[in-house]
Amino acid sequence: MIENYKGWDIILNWDDRNYLNKNISKNNYYNQKEKWKGVNLNGSSIYGSSLKEIRHIIDYPGLHK
């Protein structure tokens, strides 16, 4: 976990070894939109290309539907 922001655990998704071991194509692996992952206590997940984008999605969820 990189940080906890307003109840969301934010991690760098590409550091996850399970993610690296999945049978996925290189195009999906290098998808910047999935670089960062936020998970809340309910198990909901959000993805973003930067830590700043993840924080923005958490702060303004209505803008990112």
* Per-residue confidence (pLDDT) for residue 27, from 0 to 100: 47
* Per-residue confidence (pLDDT) for residue 21, from 0 to 100: 53
Give the domain extent around 60: 3-64
Global pTM value: 0.69
* Per-residue confidence (pLDDT) for residue 33, from 0 to 100: 76
Nearest to 57 by CA among 26, 28, 36, 30: 36
Q: Are 13 and 37 in contact (CB under 8 A)?
A: yes
* pLDDT tens-digit readout, 13-46: 875 555 445 555 544 455 677 889 999 999 999 9
- Residue 53 tokens read as 């984008």
* Per-residue confidence (pLDDT) for residue 2, from 0 to 100: 84
Question: For residues 26 and 1, what is the distance between their CA atoms, to the nearest angstrom?
Answer: 24
Domain count, the chain: 1
